[in-house]
């Protein structure tokens, strides 16, 4: 019996020692530098479990041992989140676990500037090399919200387009609820039409509400909006030139103002039949809460902004100044 007891004691001692060694080895691998030699991006798909994630990380050489990672995940009860992750060279397994638990995903971004047409936005998406699936049809004008959008490598382009449409619907719904009273339009669609014109008329944030106020005054008085960007849209249908000489590839001419189109706001009073671009949230907000002023006219001032006038005589004087400035360019 004594011999049996000593044998069992020896066995358990060896087992405990083995567990201690294994635990120490596991802790060393978990806490110290990993095998990755250079920064790598790894996509964790939705629906992947801990075992699948651990195997993928080992295959990508991010971690040294998938079993240690699985044990650590189960002991810590961490919930690992899907997404694309950036792992630095020699990142310790513990830091990999922290990233996936926190959902600290790598932010691939695509920025859609305010005032682009839907044709231009589709062109940007189709040119993004790390997205998949071409977009064959162009959404209606004014349906997409300009913003910066996150995406993952190999995500479908159509997903981002749909996200922009949902974002626009959400933005107009939120802003419409806080609109000013007695606006000269009755629908969200009309608000986006006017906002698209405001967006194309100025790139200066402080001017948006004032310009919106001018257009509101003209609509209330039944005066044609007489805005160049609508004429440009009548000519281009949103398919602008990319040669660096403006959307037409040239200056707008006086004869262009005679074009027969419902978008020509020199010949037709009221709003055009649709938006002329995709306005940003700020332009929509300015349109729904325009500045209350008595201005009826505005023209470029040569510095990127505009000068405003209450009478035609004042406006004509401002136009004469602008023509002198433009002639020197």
pLDDT at residue 4 greater than cutoff 70 = no
Which residues does 257 contact at the CB level (< 8 Å), separation at least 6? 231, 264, 266, 267
Cβ 163 vs Cβ 109: under 8 Å = no
Terminal Cα-to-Cα distance of the chain (whole angstroms): 108
pLDDT, tens digit, for every residue of 142-169?
999 999 998 888 899 999 999 999 999 9
If you average pLDDT over residues 57-84, what whole number do you get? 91
Whole-number Å distance between alpha carbons of 92 and 97: 9
Q: Which residues of 60-89 are buried (b: 16+ CB within 10 A; e: fewer)?
A: eebbbbbebbbebbeeeeeebbbbbbebee
Q: Where residue 27 falls among pLDDT bands split at 50, 70, 90?
A: confident
302: pLDDT strictly greater than 90: no
pLDDT digits (tens, 9 = 90+) for 161-199: 999 999 999 999 999 999 999 999 999 999 999 999 999
Residue 34 contacts residue 93 (beta carbons within 8 Å): yes
Above 60 in pLDDT, residue 12?
no
% pLDDT > 90, the chain: 68
What is the architecture, at CATH level 2, of domain 34-106?
Answer: 2-Layer Sandwich (3.30)
pLDDT at 25: 56
The domain segmentation of the chain, as residue ranges, is 34-106, 108-165, 180-327
- Average pLDDT along the chain: 89
pTM above 0.75, yes or no: yes
The closest of 202, 278, 288 to 233, measured between CA atoms, is: 278
Q: What is the DSSP string of 198-235?
A: HHHH---GGGHHHHHHHHHHHHHHT-----HHHHHHHH
Nearest one of 226, 222, 224, 194 to 208, comparing CA atoms: 194
Q: Residue 304 above 50 pLDDT?
A: yes
What is the spatial distance between Cα 146 and Cα 120, in angstroms, rounded to a whole number? 11
CA atoms within 13 A on the CB side of 71: 10
**Contact present, 163 and 149 (Cβ < 8 Å):** yes
Q: Which residue has the tokens 């977009």?
A: 135
Check whether 16 has a pLDDT greater than 70: no
Query: For residue 133, is it left (φ>0), alpha (ψ between -120 and 50) or beta?
Result: left
Q: How many residues does the chain have?
A: 329
The pairing of strands 306-309 and 297-300 is: antiparallel
Residue 8 has pLDDT above 50, yes or no: no
Section 265-277 average pLDDT:
96
pLDDT of residue 245: 74
CB 208 within 8 Å of CB 281: no
* Lookup: tokens for 229: 């960007």
Residue 13 has what pLDDT? 42
Give the pLDDT mean for 238-251.
Answer: 83
The answer, yes or no, to whether residue 17 has pLDDT greater than 70, is no
pLDDT at 100 over 90: yes
> Is 224's pLDDT higher than 60?
yes
Q: 104-122 as b/e, with b when 16 or more CB fall inside 10 Å? A: ebbebebebebbbbbebbb
Confidence at residue 163, expressed as pLDDT on a 0 to 100 scale: 96
């Amino acid at each position: 019996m004594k011999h049996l007891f000593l044998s069992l004691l020896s066995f358990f001692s060896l087992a405990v020692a083995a567990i201690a060694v294994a635990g120490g080895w596991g802790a060393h691998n978990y806490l110290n530098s990993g095998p990755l030699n250079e920064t790598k991006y790894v996509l964790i798909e939705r629906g992947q479990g801990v075992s699948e994630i651990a195997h993928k990380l080992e295959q990508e050489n991010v971690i040294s041992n998938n079993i240690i990672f699985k044990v650590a995940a189960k002991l810590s009860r961490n919930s690992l989140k899907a997404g694309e992750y950036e792992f630095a060279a020699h990142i310790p397994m513990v830091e990999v676990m922290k990233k996936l638990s926190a959902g600290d995903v790598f932010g691939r971004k695509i920025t859609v500037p305010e005032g682009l047409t839907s044709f231009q936005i589709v062109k940007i998406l189709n040119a993004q090399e790390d997205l998949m699936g071409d977009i064959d049809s162009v959404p209606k004008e004014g349906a997409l919200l300009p913003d910066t959008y996150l995406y993952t490598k190999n995500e479908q382009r159509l997903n981002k387009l749909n996200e922009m449409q949902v974002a626009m619907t959400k933005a107009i719904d939120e802003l419409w609820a806080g609109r000013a009273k007695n606006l000269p339009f009755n629908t969200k669609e009309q608000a986006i039409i006017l906002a698209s014109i405001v967006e194309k008329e100025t790139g200066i944030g402080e001017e948006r509400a004032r310009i919106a106020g001018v257009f509101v005054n003209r609509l209330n008085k039944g005066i044609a909006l007489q805005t160049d960007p609508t004429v440009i849209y009548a000519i281009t249908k949103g398919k602008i030139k990319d040669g660096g000489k403006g959307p037409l590839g040239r200056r707008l001419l006086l004869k262009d103002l005679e074009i027969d189109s419902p978008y020509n706001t020199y010949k037709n009073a009221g709003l055009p039949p649709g938006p002329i671009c995709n306005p940003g949230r700020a332009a929509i907000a300015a349109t729904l809460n325009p500045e209350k002023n008595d201005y009826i006219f505005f023209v470029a001032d040569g510095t990127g902004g505009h000068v405003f006038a209450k009478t035609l005589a004042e406006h004509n004087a401002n136009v004469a100044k602008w023509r002198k400035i433009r002639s020197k360019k």
